[in-house]
Structure 1
Amino acid sequence: MDRPNEPGDTAEVACAPLPLSVQAGPMNHAIVRVARLHRMLAAQLLRRVGLHPAQELVMMQLWDYGPQRQVDLVRMLGSDAATMTRTVKRLEHAGFVRRKPSPTDKRATIIEATPASQAVRRQIEDIWAELETATAAGLTPDQQAEALKALQQIENSLARAAFSGPHQDCRPDGP
């Protein structure tokens, strides 16, 4: 049975007018709203396989590139050490990864996907396809390409500002 919309429902919040306090930064506000809704939908979809947002990114990295040092996962996924440690512990507890000492560096830990994780790989790929479809709904292929280009430019601008120094763009194809 459908229930009436209540104050604070997602649809109402997503379409709410811009608060006066953020009028100086409408793009910032839009990015925050879009990121929040994207993460909320990702969480709903990933719940099917018992994962939380960002855990699937660790799994994808391990499936695509094989066992890696935890510090490399931190660097590749733009995480921090504490968050990655918690993520790996949760994935290990779920049986999707195992940790082992590095054979060449006693300080490093190698993270590898378990055979059990392969059982959810296709489901996670399907979830990402579903999330992509929902994200791009209503956009033509040209609009999707334009949106990707704009997002890459925004990411590069933010990366330059965050690192406040010369560095390469975040994407190999640049702005």
Structure 2
Amino acid sequence: MAQSTPENEKGLTEAAQEATVPVPAAAGGGPISHTIFRLARLHRMHVGHLLRRVGLYPGQELVMMYLWELGPQRQADLVRLMDSDAATMTRTVRRLEQAGFVHRRPSPTDKRASLIEPTAASHALRREVERVWSQLEDLVTAELSPDERTAALLTLERLEHNLAQATADLAGADHARR
């Protein structure tokens, strides 16, 4: 297996090199994809550690961010905003409700729907969640210049766009086959 880490002269410490995993030969044709996979896994692990301190699990903070910013939402709207599925969102909302961060109330315009809204307890949590995200951003972008941060963001947005387009194309092809 080939190592995915650059050589020492690229500025990585020994500890950082030890934290990387070898790239399996079968993934050799996709080194960027393999790196994205590893980065996403480490990012989720780290944010999970930081969020546990404030009583949340990864993903729950994103639901709360939308609720804080947009106000009460139907669960179906949260599914769309988060690009999630109904079952996952049901579990997430249930856990947030059990933790006292959201509550449901009937929708005044749709008798079949209920609105999910943040509680006072969740509003008290907002600063902590913002602090966690700032801390994570600082950690992820440590030692990057402002220009490098901008370039990284633009590159990641381009990669996201490429995958979103490919996903839309697959969905269109699947729909056409039916």
How would you bin the TM-score normalised by the shorter chain?
Answer: 0.7 to 0.9
2:9 paired residue number: none
Aligned to 1:97: 102
Shift of 1:103: 1.4
Cα RMSD, aligned residues only? 1.9
Paired with 2:128 and 2:101, the residues of 1 have a C-alpha distance of 14
Which blocks of at least 5 consecutive residues in structure 2 are unaligned?
1-14, 173-178
- Normalised by the length of structure 2, the TM-score is 0.84
Deviation for aligned residue 1:134:
0.5
TM superposition shift of 1:77:
1.2
Q: Which residue of 2 aligns with 1:29?
A: 34
Q: Which amino acid aligns with 2:163?
A: L
Which secondary structure does the structure 1 equivalent of 2:91 belong to?
helix
- Separation (CA, whole Å) in 1 of partners of 2:108 and 2:18: 51
Is the partner of 2:117 in helix, strand or coil? strand
Q: Given the superposition, is the C-alpha separation of residues 12 and 86 from structure 1 closer, same or farther in structure 2, using an over 3 Å criterion?
A: farther
Judged with a 3 Å threshold, the aligned counterparts in structure 2 of structure 1 residues 158 and 13 are, in CA distance, closer, same or farther, namely farther
Note if contact 1:160-1:166 (Cα within 8 Å) is conserved in structure 2.
no
Percent identity over the alignment is 56
Query: Which aligned pairs between 1:7-22 and structure 2 lie closer than 5 A?
Result: 14-22=19-27
Match of 1:163 in 2: 168
The answer to whether 1:49 aligns with 2:54 is yes
The equivalent residue for 1:110 is 115
Unaligned runs of 5+ in 1: 1-9, 168-175
Residue 50 of structure 1 deviates from its aligned partner by 1.1
2:152 corresponds to 1:147: yes
Matches of 1:39 and 1:110, distance apart in 2 = 28
Based on CA coordinates, which of the two structures has the bigger radius of gyration? 2
TM-score, with structure 1 as normaliser: 0.85
The 3-state SS of whatever aligns with 2:127 is helix
Instruction: Judging by fraction of residues, say which structure has more helix.
Output: 2
